[in-house]
Amino acid sequence: DAGITQSPRHKVTETGTPVTLRCHQTENHRYMYWYRQDPGHGLRLIHYSYGVKDTDKGEVSDGYSVSRSKTEDFLLTLESATSSQTSVYFCAISESGATGANVLTFGAGSRLTVL
Amino acid sequence: GQNIDQPTEMTATEGAIVQINCTYQTSGFNGLFWYQQHAGEAPTFLSYNVLDGLEEKGRFSSFLSRSKGYSYLLLKELQMKDSASYLCAFMDSNYQLIWGAGTKLIIKP
């Protein structure tokens, strides 16, 4: 299996607090993604990275920021968590990025509950 | 605009065959993907189609018709472990993936 780990796997926090989710890969893949998954919705892209310090917004980026200071780590930060950000967050990696056969490998997910 | 649609839930019997359909609308297309996701787990890649036709991979096959904006995933000789959600996604002209909400497949003995 691809080496991709997410931490924490579960977190409960209160509205207004900052939260950081970490994604770590050992595959040296160039592309990394953060998605959220909610009932009744498809996976929705929050932010992605195409290299160290190179990131871009996805379709649901409001309220989220990311950083990638090393190839292996991609951090997702909620500066001030809201209840609408309660979700399961998946990190994914890929080799090919902006090409057709862009197969994603996903981490196990981080379940975040904002009270 | 872009959209993608697949049934919310399907039920099938162990040992049988099931077809999960996916329809999409987009002005630019760079391929269609199917992923499997067991409850509480990560999605895992099943298949990729970019040309029309059927791609077979063991018990699983995936079909694409670009002119109709239609794909299906065919699962044969169903096993209890096939109980999962199946996610359809297409890649648009900007190489962004647009995901369906998933089809939950329930296998009964």
pLDDT at A98: 67
What pLDDT was estimated at residue A102?
Answer: 86
Residue A104, pLDDT > 70, answer yes
Q: Is the Cβ pair B48, A101 closer than 8 Å?
A: yes
Whether residues A42 and B96 touch (CB distance < 8 A) is answered with no
> Which amino acid appears at position B64 of this protein?
L
Kind of pairing, strands B70-75 and A19-25? unpaired
CA distances from B32 to A66, A81, A90, B97 (A): 28, 34, 20, 9
Summarize pLDDT for A5-24 with one digit per residue, the tens: 999 999 999 999 999 999 99
Q: Stretch A68-96: mean pLDDT, rounded? A: 96
Using alpha carbons, list the distances in angstroms from residue A111 to A6, A59, A70: 10, 20, 24
* Cα–Cα distances in angstroms (integers) from residue A28 to residues A7, A31, A48, B75, in the given order: 18, 9, 15, 33
**pLDDT band for position A88 (50/70/90)?**
very high
Residue B46 touches partner A, C-beta closer than 8 Å: no
pLDDT of res. A96: 80
Min Cα–Cα distance to chain A from B73, Å = 17
Q: Is A77 left (phi over 0), alpha (psi -120 to 50) or beta?
A: beta
State residue A86's pLDDT score.
98
Interface of A with B (CB under 8 A): 40-45, 58, 90, 97-109
Closest C-alpha to B42, from A98, A28, A56, A93: A93
Closest partner residue to B30 (CB to CB) among A100, A103, A108 is: A100
pLDDT at A100: 67
Residue B50 contacts A where some CB pair is shorter than 8 Å: yes
Q: List chain B pLDDT tens, one digit each, 109 residues.
A: 889 999 999 999 999 999 999 999 999 999 999 999 999 999 999 999 999 999 999 999 999 999 999 999 999 999 999 999 999 999 998 888 999 999 999 999 9
- For residue A101, which of B22, B48, B65 has the smallest C-alpha distance? B48
| Residue closest to B78 by CA, chosen among B61, B59, B63 | B59
Cβ burial of B81 (10 Å; 0-12, 13-18, 19+) is exposed
For residue A44, list chain B residues with Cβ-Cβ distance below 8 A.
Answer: 99
Chain B nearest C-alpha distance from A55 (Å): 14
B44 and chain A in contact, CB less than 8 A: yes
pLDDT at A97 over 80: no
Nearest to B45 among A43, A97, A104 (CB): A104
pLDDT over 70 (residue A2): no
